[in-house]
Structure 1
Amino acid sequence: MNQLVFKVPLTKSDNSKLKDRLSKKISYNLRKFRQNRDLTQQELSDKAGLHLTYVGHLEAGKYHPSTYVLWKIANVLKVSLDDLVT
């Protein structure tokens, strides 16, 4: 059965909520994969070419990383971008 789907523009509030949920998901996955690989935040930041404080903020869900930053982290952790965001 076909369903009719209406696309409604997101409000700024909705967009902000989505970004926050995505940041929390990324922060959880980032920490999980980093710890599974027995890496410290310092080791991850060194290997990915990122500042230690930035990695800490990502794990705390305070920042919304770019696709490029996620790609750098995924390469170090040997996971896909999908693994980090889903």
Structure 2
Amino acid sequence: MTIGDGAPLWVIAGLNVLEDLDLARAVAAHLRGVCAELHLPFVFKASFDKANRSSIRSYRGPGLEAGLAQLAAIRAEFGVPICTDYHEA
């Protein structure tokens, strides 16, 4: 996978934060389909922990273990590369 320096444009898109696997599957399926129609490479991106929330009561995500399991399931089911982010707590 090559990004930049004359390589094709890649679409890196998905969910701000993982919620449940069914939603992640629906988003991945839709984005993969749109990118395929446009002949654009696609990377699924979602966070498993959003530590930078403005409220301590806000949903942060499923956590490391459950979140990585969801991302692995998306990669296996849809055959797309995965990207996530992390934050210091």
Higher gyration radius (CA): 1
Bigger fraction of residues in strand: 2
Q: TM-score range by the shorter chain?
A: under 0.3
Q: So what's the TM-score if we normalise by structure 1?
A: 0.27
- So what's the TM-score if we normalise by structure 2? 0.27
